[in-house]
Amino acid sequence: MRPPARSSSARALASLREPRMQPVRTMKPSAMSKRKLKDSSAESAECISQVQKILRERFCHHCAAGKLFGMEQQYRHLLELLKRTTVHGESNSALIIGPRGSGKTALLNHVLKDLREMEQVRENLLEVHLNGLLQTNDKVALKEITRQLQLENVVGDKVFGSFAENLAFLLEALRKGDRTSSCPILFVLDEFDLFVHHKNQTLLYNLFDISQSAQTPVTVIGLTCRQDILELLEKRVKSRFSHRQIYLMNSFDFKQYLKIFKKQLSLPAEFSDESFAQKWNNNIQHLSEDKTVQDVLQNLFHHTKDLRSLHLLLMLASSAVTVHHPLLTAADLQEASRQHSTDSKANIVHGLSVLEICLIIAMKHLNEVYDGEPFNFQMVYNEFQKFIQRKAHSMYNFEKPVVMKAFEHLLQLELVKPLERPSARAQREYLLMKLLLDSSQIMDALQVYPNCPTDVKQWAASSLSWL
């Protein structure tokens, strides 16, 4: 049955009871709201800029703005040692020993920064920084010492009988009054073990000799990763060394590594925008508890405890922070980890020609067949010819000089290395070579190689050579 029709009066009554839908009117933003939006975006841009500056300073291992981890005792020891030189005019010598990336340079930079901020030290310490990689002999080292002490005009065209005379003249030129009023000099020898190989160790002998005599206050600090460094010193040099050694080791576990991760990314309490800093720090806390982030850090930790590697990872991740992406995410750290662990040699393979790829695959098979024994170009060429004959491909049928040119290009890229320096008489085809790529690197590179022919991929994947 149909429901009874409503009368017009009933319909009118119902319409009065039901609320009418008003059309939605869009309000145009006022000039004031636009100004507020602009101001807030400017503030956020300023915050992001400050964050990037703070993090860059922390992650630069030569900058003393970051924090020191696990070396408080060594810091106090070195600071006290240098204070005795700068304040009381005592001469001394010490070695900072530790593996690469353990924080030797960072420790020294922190101590020097704190020393320079002391009133009694400010502008009262002369520093000479030498590096064994740059100052390859005593003559070059002496020239660099003269330049850093700004004594070129004093030396002029004077001729000295020996290295010791020249160095003594430089120090005499800096002396004023008695020992306590003379300006102390700090010699920092980076890559200290390389100075050991200088002729007769003359530089080291004279620096250690001066640090023991009652002349100008001089302290010599050496930085090295050689644990056996004292055994490399001559007796006369060793006898003049104070035998002070400061050891640095990355001895922290993964829990401490996570704490370092949090501290290095957290913003300080004095950050200009307190609400943004709190939001940022809360996000970092959540990231440190995230399983994905912990896996990324665990992989890096097992590979190396070197904090420079961690800083590089965090630098890559923090570079993704922008006004539109103000907080770090787990995806940022994963992407940074992927970039960090990218194989540089595999990247070179991506830019090779198909012929060069074929030669690398031929070498790969030769390595498998002959169990890593060295090979020569002729063997590689023969292997390549077998592939062409088997596949009956005219497109890969290059003349031998062309193949030789491609092989030489691989040599220039250092993907292949000769076992000995080639002589003028030796035939290029028969020089013994070694491939500097392993099988997994080649296969990984081929997976992303653009437009790689299918039969070339199949040849690479085959476990046996085309013998």
∠420-422-423 over CA atoms, to 5°? 125
pLDDT of residue 188 exceeding 90? yes
Q: What is the mean pLDDT of residues 140-156?
A: 83
How distant, in Å, are the alpha carbons of 42, 272, 287 from that of 37?
Answer: 9, 19, 29
**Per-residue pLDDT at 433:** 86
What would the mean pLDDT of 430-443 be, rounded to a whole number?
Answer: 83
Per-residue pLDDT, 222: 94
- Enter the DSSP assignment of 429: G
- Determine the pLDDT at residue 424: 60
Q: How many CB atoms lie within 10 A of CB 445?
A: 22
Three-state secondary-structure class, residue 253: coil
pLDDT of residue 323: 86
Cα radius of gyration rounded to whole Å, the chain: 34
For residue 449, give both structure tokens.
Answer: 């190689």
Q: What percent of the chain has pLDDT over 90?
A: 16
49-64: average pLDDT: 78
What's the whole-number average pLDDT of the chain? 80
Between 163 and 258, the more confident residue is: 258
DSSP helix/strand/coil, 12: helix
pLDDT at 409 over 80: yes
Whether pLDDT at 129 is above 90:
yes
Q: Which pLDDT score, from 0 to 100, does residue 40 have?
A: 53
CA 152 to the chain's CA centroid:
35
Output the pLDDT for position 97: 94
**pLDDT value of residue 209:** 85
Query: Residues of the chain with pLDDT > 70: what percent?
Result: 81
Over residues 319-333, mean pLDDT: 88
Q: Describe the crossing of helices 330-340 and 307-318 by its angle, rounded to 10 degrees.
A: 120
Whether residue 326 has pLDDT greater than 60: yes
Rounded distance, CA 439 to CA 90, Å?
59
Confidence category of residue 15, pLDDT binned at 50, 70, 90:
very low
> 340-345: long-range contacts at Cβ-Cβ below 8 A with a sequence spacing of 24 or more?
340/300, 340/309, 340/312, 340/313, 340/316, 343/441, 343/444, 343/445, 345/415, 345/436, 345/437, 345/441
- pLDDT single digits (tens) 198-223: 888 888 988 888 888 766 788 999 99
**Which has the minimum average pLDDT: 24-33, 52-61, 271-280?**
24-33
What is the structure's pLDDT at 16?
A: 38
> Is residue 176 over pLDDT 80?
no
Q: Which amino acid is at 18?
A: E
Choose among 246, 236, 183, 181: nearest CA to 212. Answer: 236
pLDDT digits (tens, 9 = 90+) for 74-90: 999 999 999 888 888 88
| Rounded CA separation 389/185 (Å) | 73
* 134 confidence band (pLDDT: 50, 70, 90): very high
Half-sphere exposure of 306 (CA within 13 A, CB side): 11
- Of the given ranges (52-56, 138-142, 177-181, 443-447), which has the lowest mean pLDDT? 177-181
Q: Which domains does the chain possess?
A: 72-247 (3.40.50.300), 254-341 (no CATH), 346-461 (1.10.10)
Would the pLDDT of 441 be above 50? yes
> Phi/psi at 357 (nearest 5 deg)?
-60, -45
Distance, CA of 447 to CA of 200 (rounded, Å): 55
pLDDT per position as a tens digit, 287-318: 999 899 999 999 888 888 888 888 889 988 98
- The H or E element spanning position 93 is strand 92-97
pLDDT at site 9? 46
| Greatest mean pLDDT range, 69-78, 206-215, 334-343 | 69-78
Contact 108/223 with Cβ under 8 angstroms? yes
| Residue 177: predicted pLDDT | 46
**pLDDT for position 86:** 84
Report which of 398, 430, 414 is spatially closest to residue 360, judged by C-alpha positions: 414
Joined together, the tokens standing for residue 355 give: 């012929």
- Between the ranges 21-30, 146-155, 239-248, 382-391, where is the mean pLDDT highest? 239-248
For residue 24, name the pLDDT band (cuts at 50, 70, 90).
very low
Task: Count other C-beta atoms under 10 Å from residue 354's C-beta.
Answer: 14
How far apart (Å, rounded) are the C-alpha atoms in residues 394 and 388?
8
Per-residue pLDDT at 77? 93
Instruction: Please tell me the predicted confidence (pLDDT) of residue 426.
Output: 65
C-alpha of 419 from chain center: 30
> Is the predicted pLDDT of residue 39 greater than 80, yes or no?
no
SS3 state at 185: strand
Whether pLDDT at 141 is above 80: yes
Residue of 45, 50, 51, 43 lying closest to 264 (CA atoms): 51
Which pLDDT score is estimated for 58?
A: 83
SS (H, E, C) 316-372: HHHCCCCCCCCCCCHHHHHHHHHHHCCCHHHHHHHCCCHHHHHHHHHHHHHHHHCCC
Predicted local distance difference test score (pLDDT) of residue 250: 77
Per-residue pLDDT tens over the stretch 99-115: 888 889 889 988 988 88
pLDDT at residue 367 is higher than 80 = yes
At 435, is the secondary structure helix, strand, or coil?
strand
Structure tokens at 461: 């994947």
